[in-house]
């Protein structure tokens, strides 16, 4: 009998820990997991410190240690 094992990928979304399946996710799926709105500008920070925007329609394959956060743009008032 053959068994399949799913590897959980540990990531952080807006400071909260998540264990994701080893597959691709859309930006909208990641926002939904964390309860974020599609209008929020989600950014992926890789283990090497690089930052990449993740629009709702973009596919990303999370890697262990990735951190996703909402980028806040300050406006002068």
Strand partners, 35: none
Q: Count how many domains the chain has.
A: 1
For residue range 32-76, list pLDDT tens digits in order: 999 999 888 999 998 788 899 999 999 999 999 899 999 876 555
What is the span of the domain harbouring residue 36? 9-70
In a domain, 59, yes or no: yes
Domain CATH for 65: 3.10.560.10
Strand partners, 5: none
Give the predicted TM-score (pTM) of the model: 0.81
In a domain, 53, yes or no: yes
Query: What are the DSSP calls for the chain, one per residue?
Result: -----PPEEEEEETTEEEEEESS-EEHHHHHHHHT--TTS-EEEE-TTS-EEE--TT-EE---TT-EEEEPPPP---
Query: What are the DSSP calls for 31-45, one per residue?
Result: HHHHT--TTS-EEEE
């Amino acid at each position: 009998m053959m068994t399949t094992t799913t590897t959980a990928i540990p990531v952080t979304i807006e400071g909260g820990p998540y264990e994701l399946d080893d597959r691709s996710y859309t930006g909208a799926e990641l926002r939904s997991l964390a309860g974020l709105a599609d209008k929020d500008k989600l950014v992926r920070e890789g283990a090497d410190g690089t930052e990449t925007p993740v629009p709702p329609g973009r596919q990303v394959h999370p890697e262990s240690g990735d951190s996703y956060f909402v980028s806040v743009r300050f406006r002068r008032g």
